């Protein structure tokens, strides 16, 4: 890239950062968005849009949220809306365990060992790889890997925000890339199969119909993310001073003999727990498997227990290390480490409250659903060639992702249109789902409506106090654009070569 191009990119990202940082605090932003949805729902509710819900067949209408009945429902259900906000429980439970491991010094000790054996130049790809694998643990990557990215980079003498950006890119931007099957595979397949059966009632689809593509995509995301981090993001961050509270920063000091002994005993305990879990899960009749005996099925207890397991697998070695190393003197110290972790989450809890209210209103008003379905029907009306249609699906999904955050919710809405439509022009449900997964991943990292987006801002503020939404968006835009372009091209080339997408998959129908 020429210096002139670099200058233009710098100017563009600076403008994005300035404009974004002029936005209100995320909590207030979600409050304003809630008010906007209320007003829009009242304005749009009298109109008929002649759009049917693809699942129920019912006509979609905007619900006026400013009626007396809807406002009463809002007040009566406010507590339930907040407490049932999905990311809240995931974040708090995982952070209890991570907090014990962090404040006892266990995580810091592990990082010191890791930094001792990992060359500085390989920290970025290693971090992105760990972030990608974390998809197996549902949303735990947001509360575990992303903050560790900042810790690792800071301890290595690199800019911590670059580590957070690289981890965020792997966890969220590369959401559909993974070496290891996860619960999202059978979840999406279920919607794909239902949609395909609209066109072909006997259609059956393998839950791992995209596994080969997502596994090989991991190599692409690691490589491209490495280049973006080291060549674009981190050099630009060099002008931003790290001004966070020093007592909250990880210290890089050599471990003494007591700490080394405590670390290895705690690590062995954690590994023993993992082995015990594997042994428990292996039998086909294991209670950790689904009723059909599957491990990766969405309803398998092992997949639904990921966050509690993370809590246990961190709190046990964390507490062990604390007592063995002398960090913890008594039980109050152990509980205090968890209290510190919850204290650092207070700002996120406030933002989560307003975010939960906004997302609930957006869903109840039907505005998000109407926008998603209308966009999908517009793409259908264009009747483009196969390759252009695949590109269109990726782009439309990336845009819809800014409006509807849940991967399963989006696919439930648009798969009944996309899948049968493309089957009609000879494109298999497997390929359509793969295109959807690319579009669903790349725009996660630039939308403040992502439930975990405010949490990433909090992680950044630990190191740079005045970090705002604009700072994070400007950091992640290079990942978005380059991931979008390279991953789309990769899918088209992958398709052209004819490499299988996954188990029992195809590119054409029939």
For residue 500, give the 3-state DSSP assignment.
coil
What DSSP designation does 293 have?
S
Inside any domain, residue 149: yes
Q: How far apart are CA 462 and CA 244, in angstroms?
A: 5
SS3 sequence, 381-450? HHCCCHHHHHHHHHHHHHHHCCCCCCHHHHHHHHHHHHHHHHHHCCECHHHHHHHHHHHHHHCHHHCCCC
Q: Of 45-49, 199-203, 313-317, give the lowest mean pLDDT range.
A: 199-203
Stated as kind and residue range, the H or E segment containing 325 is helix 306-325
pLDDT of residue 2: 42
Four-point Cα dihedral 137, 142, 146, 148, nearest 10: -60
pLDDT of residue 21: 60
pLDDT of residue 167: 93
Q: How much is the average pLDDT of 61-80?
A: 94
Inside any domain, residue 90: yes
- Comparing CA positions, the residue from 381, 389, 394 lying closest to residue 427 is 389
pLDDT tens profile 198-251: 777 788 888 888 999 999 999 999 999 999 999 999 999 988 888 866 555 545
What DSSP designation does 251 have?
P
Peptide bond into 22 cis (omega under 30): no
Q: How far apart are CA 212 and CA 482, in angstroms?
A: 22
Provide the residue count of the chain. Answer: 510
User: Where is pLDDT greater, at 438 or 14?
Assistant: 438
120: Cβ contacts below 8 Å, ≥ 6 apart:
156, 157, 158
pLDDT tens profile 120-152: 788 899 899 888 877 665 566 787 788 888 888
The pair of three-digit structure tokens given for residue 322, joined into one six-digit string: 């604390």
Inside any domain, residue 507: no
Inside any domain, residue 260: yes
pLDDT tens profile 386-404: 788 899 889 988 887 776 6
pLDDT tens profile 485-498: 999 999 999 999 99
Inside any domain, residue 502: no
User: In the chain, what percentage of residues exceed pLDDT 90?
Assistant: 30
- Work out how many domains the chain is built from and give that number: 1
pLDDT of residue 5: 47
Residue 116 has pLDDT above 60, yes or no: yes
pLDDT tens profile 101-114: 878 888 777 766 76
Inside any domain, residue 506: no
Inside any domain, residue 505: no
Residue 377 has pLDDT above 80, yes or no: no
Q: How much is the average pLDDT of 6-29?
A: 65
pTM: 0.69
**Domain range spanning residue 453?**
3-497
User: Where is pLDDT greater, at 424 or 32?
Assistant: 32
pLDDT of residue 1: 41
For residue 52, give the 3-state DSSP assignment.
strand
pLDDT of residue 234: 93
Inside any domain, residue 35: yes
Burial 269-300 (b: 16+ CB within 10 A, else e): ebeeeeeebeeeeeeeebebbbeeebbbbbeb
Q: How much is the average pLDDT of 58-85?
A: 91
């Amino acid at each position: 890239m020429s210096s002139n191009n670099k200058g233009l990119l710098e100017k563009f990202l600076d403008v994005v950062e300035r404009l974004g940082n002029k936005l209100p605090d995320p909590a207030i932003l979600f409050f304003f968005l809630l008010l906007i949805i209320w007003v829009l729902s009242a304005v749009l509710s009298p109109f008929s849009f002649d759009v049917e819900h693809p699942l129920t067949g019912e006509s979609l209408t905007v619900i006026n949220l400013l009626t007396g009945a809807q406002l009463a429902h809002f007040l009566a259900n406010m507590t339930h809306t907040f407490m049932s906000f999905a990311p809240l429980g995931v974040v708090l439970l995982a952070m209890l365990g991570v907090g014990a491991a962090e404040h006892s010094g266990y995580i810091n000790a592990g990082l010191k060992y890791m930094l001792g054996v990992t060359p500085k130049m390989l920290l970025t790809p290693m971090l992105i790889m760990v972030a990608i694998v974390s998809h197996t643990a549902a949303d735990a990557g947001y509360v575990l890997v992303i903050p560790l990215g900042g810790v690792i980079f800071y301890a290595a003498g690199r800019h911590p925000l670059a580590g957070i950006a690289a981890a965020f890119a792997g966890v969220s931007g590369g959401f559909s890339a993974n070496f290891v099957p996860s619960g999202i595979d059978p979840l999406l397949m279920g919607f794909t199969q239902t949609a395909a059966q609209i066109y072909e009632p006997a259609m059956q689809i393998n839950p791992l119909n995209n596994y080969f593509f997502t596994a090989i995509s991991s190599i692409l995301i690691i490589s491209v993310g490495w280049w973006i981090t080291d060549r674009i993001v981190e050099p630009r961050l060099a002008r931003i001073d790290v001004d966070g509270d020093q007592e909250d920063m990880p210290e890089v000091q050599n471990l003494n003999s007591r700490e080394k002994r405590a670390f290895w005993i705690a690590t062995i305990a954690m590994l023993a727990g993992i082995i015990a879990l594997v042994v428990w899960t292996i039998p086909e009749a294991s209670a950790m498997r689904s009723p059909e005996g599957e491990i990766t099925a969405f309803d398998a207890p092992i997949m639904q227990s990921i966050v509690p397991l993370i809590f246990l697998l961190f709190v046990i070695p964390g507490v062990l290390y604390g007592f063995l190393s002398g960090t913890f003197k008594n039980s109050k110290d152990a509980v205090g480490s968890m209290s510190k972790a919850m204290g650092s989450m207070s700002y996120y809890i406030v933002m989560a409250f307003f975010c939960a209210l906004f997302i609930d209103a957006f869903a109840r008003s039907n505005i998000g659903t109407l926008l998603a379905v209308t966009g999908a029907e517009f793409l259908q009306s264009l009747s483009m060639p196969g390759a252009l249609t695949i590109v269109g699906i990726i782009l439309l999904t990336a845009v819809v992702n800014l409006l509807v955050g849940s991967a399963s919710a989006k696919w439930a809405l648009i798969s009944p249109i996309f899948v049968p439509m493309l089957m009609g022009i000879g494109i298999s449900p497997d390929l359509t789902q793969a295109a959807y997964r690319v579009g669903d991943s790349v725009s996660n990292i630039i939308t403040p409506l992502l439930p975990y987006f405010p949490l990433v801002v909090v992680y950044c503020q630990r190191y740079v106090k005045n970090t705002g939404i604009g700072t994070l968006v400007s950091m992640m835009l290079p990942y978005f654009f380059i991931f979008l372009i390279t991953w789309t091209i990769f899918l088209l080339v992958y398709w052209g070569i004819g490499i299988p997408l996954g188990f029992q998959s195809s590119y054409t129908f029939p």
